[in-house]
Amino acid sequence: MIAKVLFIPISIAGSLIAGILSKKLFDFIWARFDDAEPPEAEHREVSMPKLIAANAVQGAIMRGVRAGSDHYTRAAFSRATGVWPGEEKPDEARL
């Protein structure tokens, strides 16, 4: 239980780093497809397909980077403490 509480600040730091990395990765990838900045919902003149595509790509990148970072952080914590902060495997009843 104490190890799981100790993991919380490490998880927060990992999440912040993952957010920064995913933003940089999205900007890098977006620049390969379009010279303009990615469209935002608050922009008045924006193509709806372009807006949806940009947000879908950004969401996929953020989710993937966050999942990879979270798993790596948990694995490093486990190697350091001998305790895995989470469940060992997915619930089979949900599959």
pLDDT in tens, 4-46: 888 999 999 999 999 999 999 999 999 998 999 999 999 999 9
* Domain enclosing residue 75, as ranges: 2-34+48-80
The whole-angstrom separation of Cα 72 and Cα 94 is 24
90 in any annotated domain = no
pLDDT of residue 95: 55
Confidence of residue 92 (pLDDT cuts 50, 70, 90): confident
16 in any annotated domain = yes
Question: Which residues have C-beta within 8 Å of that of residue 10, sequence separation ≥ 6?
Answer: 73, 77
91 in any annotated domain = no
Cα–Cα distances (Å) from 93 to 84, 87, 88, 89, in that order, read 22, 14, 15, 12
The amino acid at residue 67 is: A
19 in any annotated domain = yes
Q: Is it the case that residue 72 has pLDDT exceeding 60?
A: yes
Q: How many domains does the chain have?
A: 1
From the list 67, 70, 52, 62, the residue with the least C-alpha distance to 29 is 62
Q: Is it the case that residue 70 has pLDDT exceeding 80?
A: yes
The whole-angstrom separation of Cα 31 and Cα 67 is 24
Q: Is pTM, for the whole model, over 0.75?
A: yes
73 in any annotated domain = yes
